[in-house]
Amino acid sequence: MNIKNPWENAKALYPVGAQAQGTVKKKFPFGVFLELSGAPDVIAFLDIASYNPAGEPPPAPLPDPGARVTGTIAAHNERDKQLRIRVGPPVHQIMDKRANDHT
């Protein structure tokens, strides 16, 4: 690992599609910021549209600070140097399934 570059280390440790577990550090109406094991210097972000633990259309109540969250790395946000997390299926899959169930 490259100690001088926490962002590159975090991307290597958490590639897109990998499972990740973190602790909620801050909660806002639009999402939560997480600290992930092995990458404490890099912010992980879970927005409200990506939090679908029951596979139902959003919004689900976001977890509170201190809660442990397990999800999938959905993207590496290079501009903000954030790992984007998703919990449950992507919202477009939920909506497609819901639309198909009503036809």
What domains are there in the chain, each with its CATH number? 6-101 (2.40.50.140)
For the full predicted model, state whether its pTM sits above 0.95.
Answer: no
- Between β-strands 68-77 and 31-36, what pairing exists: parallel, antiparallel or unpaired? unpaired
pLDDT in tens, 54-65: 877 767 899 999
For 21, list phi and psi in degrees, rounded to 5: -125, 135
pLDDT in tens, 40-79: 999 999 999 899 888 777 678 999 999 999 999 999 999 9
Start-to-end C-alpha separation, the chain: 51
Distance from C-alpha of 83 to C-alpha of 103, rounded to nearest angstrom: 37
